Structure 1
Amino acid sequence: MKQARARLTHAVILNAAGEIFAERGFTDTDLQSVADRIGLTKGALYGHFPSKAALAAAVIEDFERSWAEVTTAARHSSRPALQTLTRLLLELSRRTAEDIRFLSGLRLKMAAARARGAEEPHLAELYDLLTSLVLLSQEQGDIHAGRRPELLVPLLISLILGTWELGLVTGEEHAADLVPSLWETILPALQLSSD
């Protein structure tokens, strides 16, 4: 019973930290804000996480596990490339919009890479994976061969990463629900000949 309560508290802390890291970033987040958000004392929070860095590392670890699950499924899919591409796009958009730890972990990783002046490896992996799926979709005749992957892939990444911000702009609680409609709007233009 005590262990179950500790696991629940741990999850609640990670969700609150995810919310605050997503809102403020690492630098402007402090442990007191996380404790206040969930009604814990700072001392009780320290019982779970000894520092802000440890808390951020736990959020990032959760994100990385979730990311690997989605991208591995896409890489090993036996479906046609366009179906795999669509599933990947929709699933990453959904997680970005609805899973605050996923969004927060990705944002923390992106901010850390930007601070180092380096490329964020998850986004580089996503760019390569999307590019390979677009090229394979073209080979399979599901996306017109004249569509340039170097233009299409950034658009797809913008759909994925912009889902959370889209919810802020539109006031939609479930902004990820818009992504299938947006994709259905874009896809016919990708399949048509540009002649």
Structure 2
Amino acid sequence: MAKQERARRTREKVLTAAAQVFAVQGYDSTTLNTVAERIGMTKGALYGHFPSKRSLARALIDESRHTWTSLRAAYDTPDADAAGVLEGVVVGFADRLHSDVRLRAALRLAVEHPDLAPAPSDVLADMHGTLTDLVRRAQRDSGFPDHCPPLVAELLLIVIRGLLTTAERAEDSTTEDNGTEDSGTATRCGEPLWRLLFTALSAGPAPSPALP
């Protein structure tokens, strides 16, 4: 049991170290040597946990899918207001994105390299489908305006990806300055942005222009 626990802890250290590199450098610029050196391992020892850079990236992406599913379950409780569930899931995921480097890395990998995971594990497709369903429920049960549900879902994902880029710039800049991570700037920008976005969406569809 002690050996298994050590192996589990080492695996977690490898995933976090890889995420810190992937989140800043991206997949193509990351090497297993860089990940191993970050935590004082040999490349051979790292191979004992992950046989390739691709398997390491896939593990992070797969983990992010579980994070997304768990987050939805936390907000989508019985008798919860459908519009509140939609907003809670989106804002909760965005907050988690800024505090969890493994999630940031996974989302960057999924955006830049959709080929890293097979279709059933495509976290972005899963997120889009879930958000589309939540928008439909909010329209049916909570009076959410009659926007096109897939279009709203895509808009929300676009903003999430934009906040991801903001967090990456803040992380990269701070790491270069003092070797630490700080995505507080992105977090402060995120809260008013989501408030503005959901207020705008709740205003209803824009009227069609009158014909001459």
Confirm or deny a common fold (TM above 0.5).
yes
Quick check: 2:57–2:116 contact (8 Å CA) kept in 1? no
Q: Residue 79 of structure 1: CA displacement? A: 0.8
Matched residue, 1:187: 198
Aligned with 2:91: secondary structure?
helix
Matched residue, 2:106: 105
Scaled by the length of structure 2, the TM-score of the pair is: 0.72
Aligned with 1:26: secondary structure?
helix
Q: Write out per-residue CA displacement over residues 67-111 of structure 1, whole angstroms, 9 at most, x where no aligned residue.
A: 332244556653111110011101221232222222222333344
Aligned with 2:41: secondary structure?
coil
Query: Unpaired segments of 5 or more residues in structure 2?
Result: 174-181, 208-212
Q: Residue 15 of structure 1: CA displacement? A: 0.6
Matched residue, 1:156: 156
Q: Residue 152 of structure 1: CA displacement? A: 2.7
Q: Distance in 2 between matches of 1:163 and 1:77?
A: 30
Structure 1 residue 58 corresponds to structure 2 residue 59:
yes
Q: Write out per-residue CA displacement over residues 9-36 of structure 1, whole angstroms, 9 at most, x where no aligned residue.
A: 2211111111222333333322111011
- Figure out how many residues of one structure are paired with residues of the other and give that number: 193
Aligned with 1:162: secondary structure?
helix
Matched residue, 1:167: 167
Matched residue, 1:35: 36
Change (3 A) 1:112 1:189: closer
Q: Residue 122 of structure 1: CA displacement? A: 2.5
Scaled by the length of structure 1, the TM-score of the pair is: 0.78
Of residues 62-71 and 118-127 in structure 1, the stretch that sits farther from structure 2 once superposed is 118-127
CA RMSD of aligned residues (A): 3.1
Quick check: 1:109–1:120 contact (8 Å CA) kept in 2? no
Q: Residue 160 of structure 1: CA displacement? A: 2.0
Q: Residue 169 of structure 1: CA displacement? A: 4.8
Q: Distance in 2 between matches of 1:53 and 1:169?
A: 24
Q: Distance in 1 between matches of 2:51 and 2:155?
A: 40
Quick check: 2:86–2:134 contact (8 Å CA) kept in 1? yes
Query: Unpaired segments of 5 or more residues in structure 1?
Result: none
Q: Distance in 1 between matches of 2:169 and 2:57?
A: 27
Q: Residue 115 of structure 1: CA displacement? A: 8.1
Which of 157, 172, 178 in structure 1 is aligned with 2:189?
178
Aligned with 1:48: secondary structure?
coil
Q: Distance in 2 between matches of 1:23 and 1:91?
A: 22
Quick check: 1:19–1:100 contact (8 Å CA) kept in 2? yes
